[in-house]
Amino acid sequence: MTAAIIVGLLAAGGTYLILQRGIVRIALGFTLLGHAATTLLIASGGVARRVAPFADATGAVADPLPQAFALTAIVISFGITAFLLALAFRSRDAIGHDDVEDRSVPEERSFPADHDVHVGERERDHR
């Protein structure tokens, strides 16, 4: 139950940060989502019934598959974070800030009065 709450909080925080405009905040959001994925993978192996990773006197061994998946998720999360932080650093050098352009609302463009919908026909007539 505790692992599910932790995964939910990390995923909610990561999603919130990914929806922000700054690349550094987006990178932190992906980091939180990576931690949520790692916690989810470890919890899928059974937190309550987990035994020691090595064989004990009874011969019971922990399942190595969730641990391998979690390690893979950590490596992928680190790679994404490193890429986004390098992108933020380069963006700051190139344009002075790390904000992502807002392309959600198309800009209105004003066209000359003689502009019509059939631009292809006009280009064809000029050939």
Q: Where are the domains of the chain?
A: 2-49+63-95
Q: Which amino acid is at 96?
A: G
Q: Which residues contact residue 43 at a Cβ distance below 8 angstroms, ignoring those fewer than 6 apart?
A: 3, 4, 7
* 22, β-bridge pairs: 99
Whole-number Å distance between alpha carbons of 124 and 115: 15
- The separation between the first and the last C-alpha atoms of the chain, rounded to the nearest angstrom, is 71
Q: Which residue has the higher pLDDT, 112 or 40?
A: 40
pTM: 0.66
User: What pLDDT is stored for residue 87 in this prediction?
Assistant: 87
For the domain spanning 2-49+63-95, the CATH number is 1.10.287.3510
Return mean pLDDT, the chain: 79
Stretch 72-83: mean pLDDT? 92
Residue of higher predicted confidence among 112 and 20: 20
Q: Is the pLDDT of residue 45 over 90?
A: no
Q: How many CB atoms lie within 10 A of CB 66?
A: 18
